[in-house]
Amino acid sequence: MSIDYCLQRARELPIVGKRSRHYACLVDKKGRIIAESANSYSCSHTTQYRYAKKAGRPEAVYLHAEMACLLKDRYKRGVKMYVVRVNKAGEPVYSAPCEICSLAIKDFSNVKSVEYTT
């Protein structure tokens, strides 16, 4: 499992308006995918809201790809996260986790590293 897989999955996402396509994967020690998700522009979650409020951005209630992966990992087996973003042309663009997701990743002590497109 590598960042190339995430890039391919992000390119497969439909283009919605002017938004870039954002995708994240969480893998275990052996490189197996534990969770994968894309940004949601219609669903929210109480955990997303709690971290958004903690980061000083209470308006950011829609579920981010990184947060969705963390929530899907119920048994906390994921140790590495890949985060990618592609533009309309399918080219990778900068995708470091936002301050909301960074706080959540730090609190989920099982995630040891995050690799993202630059």
Q: What is the pLDDT of residues 7-56, one digit of tens each?
A: 999 999 999 888 889 999 999 999 999 999 999 989 999 999 999 999 99
pLDDT at 16: 86
Task: Quickly state the pLDDT bin for 1 (edges 50, 70, 90).
Answer: low
Helix ranges (DSSP H) in the chain: 3-12, 46-54, 65-72, 99-107
Global pTM value: 0.93
Q: Are 104 and 67 in contact (CB under 8 A)?
A: yes
Average pLDDT over all residues of the chain: 94
